[in-house]
Structure 1
């Protein structure tokens, strides 16, 4: 790494401004109305087990007072178990030379602060994208119970409504729509062309879609590339659909080494976090420990444990966004 990596000018004003992260990732608790929750709760071990009581509604039965008094079938009081999994990530190493910083009148402390800022954004991006990828995989695996396919065209309001209908009388539990920027602006375009304005504008942005909170973020899992078009995906999520737990084990190391013509410094970090989905258990046998991105995005690694699909994370709408 040479000084050519830095911008060197004879006289100018240099600031600590950094290039903004392209993907808007500040989309957790408040933005999603609690559908995707970032918590400070720790995550010990490889998995996090949470027990909850199974539904007893099936124990209700009809009685014939005039029939023989036969034995009634009993319903066992039981618990179900949701399972979250710990995910490991890393950042760096980031390489710089103390001498090159001095050359452009910058300090190592400023370099460390800039690197730390990017690292924090990258970790947040990782958590959000991982949660969305897991949600897409688990919900798509529900097929006709949780998936509405718009088939040949872009996703419309009617399509979202049909997806919500998959939850029947529990559709009111769906509180947030998660989509990428292109799909979002397709909805804006539909509304502009509609004389009976379906939603209103404030001084800043469109308020909502179908009365739901909208999170717009270009997470890779919301777009599936194909040869002729891009498959768009919209998640309609319930409260607590995905929970991110703090791994509480961020480890950073800054190391300066000799042995080359110029002294070099590297900064590197390791971190973990936990992810859990409403109504699902991570398959500890098939998915295993410390999963990869591909394993987290595999639907068969998320087993439905809730008694009904209506008690899971939500539904998904599939559509087409043409390349043009």
Structure 2
């Protein structure tokens, strides 16, 4: 596919998946790509996933695509704050060069593209809770204050990985007698073993007691940290069945997320509060509790961070063209991107 209109690229690289889209300056989405997670702190191959998502989107443009049609791009990456910015810049640049695109993309934290992918408003606050967890106050589409997002080892309180870690700890505590009984003790190991041969397939009985505890430990430490987030749906299911330990984990997760958001929330009741990430945009118990705590505030569910990244790229292109600020056409293009972007939970 060829196009006479310049193109922009938007990338949203989170802990679990990377989404890329290519759009025209008028806000029409013309191609998409997707790959695994791109957070250097939790994903096994962040650079490769960025390259694959971008490459897939550009491939879908067809043989008539000219790399010089791309006027710019924005990568919104988990782990791209100050502590991880140098590596995030290098990963984005490598993916960009692998696609033979001109210049270099702009790299911003994924929390900013989550906000701009949900609302055309320039200011407000945003909370992401998926694999990780972070909140920020946004002013004029810039992050002016943030809280948490410190990664699976030091923070991300209330996130999917945090929930998974609590589930594994609760299972171990139940097995060795330190904690109360919970069905998690029986279900954590099979959930972690998804994609691996089950013991019964080898003709052996599932491990019990100390053997099961050690098998859980091995399964956790043998996988990448982001894999703990796959336990979050299990905790949800156990909580809905009435398991008190699982329910307490989710209650604590919601409480921690609200505390994180309240730490940065912008003053002014009219400013939007964007909720992003699978824990908050899907029908989870955590989402129910968080939204209950935010009743009376203008909550907006995030849609497509890649569309938000493309919107920032559109605005940058307008400035590069000599406009001091985005005009009505750019505002309309931003809104068009939001309308065409993926809804929460879509592939």
Q: Fold conserved (TM > 0.5)?
A: no
| Greater relative contact order (CA < 8 Å, ≥ 6 in sequence) | 1
Q: Please classify the TM superposition score into its range, dividing by the shorter chain length.
A: under 0.3
TM-score of the superposed pair, with normalisation by structure 1 = 0.28
Structure whose CA Rg is larger: 1
TM-score of the superposed pair, with normalisation by structure 2 = 0.27
- The structure whose residues are more often helix, as a share, is 2
